[in-house]
């Protein structure tokens, strides 16, 4: 990889699905590298679902070796319980 290139991972955390994307920046140009989706089994307990997501994100980081990251902010919706679960998924990503 070129010394000027910065590899960045972007994460959109969710309890059902966590989206990820990898880009490279050379300062003025952005280049798409890869993207995907990590899912958890909705029938599992919360702790197991968070572990599935964590292991998936860890695998993406190990494969692509980004040096910077961006994680989408959690928004508050009308369902407080869903917002709290989304916050836990975001915490896992961080």
| 6-21 pLDDT per residue, tens | 999 999 998 899 999 9
pLDDT of amino acid 57: 96
Coil, helix or strand for 51? helix
80 sits in which H/E element:
helix 80-93
CA angle at 89 for the pair 55 and 16, rounded to the nearest 5°: 80
pLDDT of amino acid 21: 98
Is pLDDT at 32 greater than 70 in this prediction?
yes
Region of residue 91 (phi > 0: left; psi between -120 and 50: alpha; otherwise: beta): alpha
Q: How confident is the model at residue 53 (pLDDT cuts 50, 70, 90)?
A: very high
Coil, helix or strand for 81? helix
Mean pLDDT of 31-42: 96
Task: Summarize pLDDT for 62-77 with one digit per residue, the tens.
Answer: 999 999 999 988 766 7
Please provide the average confidence, as pLDDT, over all residues in the chain. Answer: 90
Tokens, residue 29: 């140009």
φ, ψ at 40 (rounded to 5°)? -125, 160
- What pTM does this model have? 0.85
pLDDT of amino acid 1: 54
User: How far does Cα 73 stand from its chain's mean position?
Assistant: 11
């Amino acid at each position: 990889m070129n010394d000027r290139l910065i590899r960045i991972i972007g994460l959109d955390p969710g309890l059902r699905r966590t989206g990820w994307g990898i880009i490279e920046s050379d300062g003025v140009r952005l280049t798409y590298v890869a993207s995907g989706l990590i899912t958890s089994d909705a029938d599992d307990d919360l702790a197991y679902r968070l572990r599935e997501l964590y292991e998936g994100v860890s695998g993406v980081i190990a494969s692509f070796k980004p040096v910077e990251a961006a994680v989408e902010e959690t928004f508050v919706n009308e369902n407080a319980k869903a917002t709290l679960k989304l916050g836990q998924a975001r915490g896992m990503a961080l």
